[in-house]
Amino acid sequence: MRIKSPLRLCIAIITVLVILWMCFNFVIALISGQQFSFWGNTLGDGVETVVVAGVDADGYRTDLILLCQTNRKDNKVSVLQIPRDTRVENRRSDRKINSAYYSGFEVLAKEIQQVTGVKPEHYVMVSFEAFRDIVNAAGGVAIDVPMDMDYEDPVQDLKIHLKKGKQRLNGERAEMYMRFRSGYTKGDVDRLSAQQELYQALSKKLFTPFGVLRVPGVLAAVKKHTTTDLSGGKMISLMRDILAIGKDKIEILSLPGEGKYIGGRSYFVPYQNQTKALMQEYFVTN
């Protein structure tokens, strides 16, 4: 049937969106065991700070670190990328933040606070298997790969082979894109920029009407392969809050700094003044 009136078209679109949103909340209610609500259960006007980290195969080192803060009071979400080689003051020989999780979440949280001034309250540790499943559950992600990416590491059983150019990456190929390190001119700085593009492309896709319907599958993938201190209901509430805030209020940022060799080791050294200014602008600090 053809809809000739613009008003009728708008009503039809709004009706479809409302039905999709109700279906989404109904599915989430079934998964979480919570009472169904059209608006969903949210955090109200609270602030939640969570570290989301990609854990290496050994389960101890964090290859990817994201400090995420959901702020319903100011209606915004702030995400800070922290390079794995960020230099921190500790008693370990490597002085790199990516080895902090070996000693537990509390140590990682304190070292994140040392660098940023913000201590995460909760953690979500994501395996690479989970990352692949999350991307696949989202239906893949479109990325413009900046260069030919070729790298192999038999020790990690890691094989990366991607061609330059625009393409849709499934979970396995998105993992290759995220873990590639060797070809960037500015090292971790360029790598963070490339990863940021993937985060933005993925979030943009999930905020479409049909993308929202994929969220339960994404949550199922997260729940299956992650280690977290968040309850299922709390994680779902966080996801609802993010969806309610909207993609235009999500800021994905990178820790200011530069790569340096210190004592024969390669580090990412944060700029303290710039980091402090960035955190005060985008985060509620401790």
Give me the pLDDT at residue 225, please.
74
Give me the pLDDT at residue 28, please.
56
User: How far is Cα 16 from Cα 181, in angstroms, rounded to an integer?
Assistant: 43
Residue among 101, 84, 54 nearest 192 (CA): 84
**HSE-up of 35 (CA within 13 Å, CB side)?**
1
Give me the pLDDT at residue 123, please.
92
Entry pTM: 0.75
Range list for CATH 3.40.630.190 in the chain: 42-282
Give me the pLDDT at residue 39, please.
47
Q: Give 122-155 as a DSSP string.
A: EEEEEEHHHHHHHHHHTT-EEEEE-S-EEEEETT
Beta strand 165-169 with 141-145 is: antiparallel
- Tokens linked to 122: 């909760």
Residue among 248, 251, 218 nearest 235 (CA): 218
Angle at 217 between CA 229 and CA 101, to 5 degrees: 30
Give me the pLDDT at residue 35, please.
53
Give me the pLDDT at residue 224, please.
77
Alpha-carbon torsion 81, 87, 89, 92, what sign? Answer: positive
Residues with Cβ < 8 Å from 220, sequence gap 6 or more?
Answer: 31, 137
The CATH number of the structural domain formed by 42-282 is 3.40.630.190
Q: For each successive 10 residues of the chain (286 residues), what is the average pLDDT?
A: 55 60 59 50 69 80 90 89 93 90 92 96 88 90 93 84 94 92 81 88 80 76 81 75 76 91 90 95 87
Give me the pLDDT at residue 49, please.
93
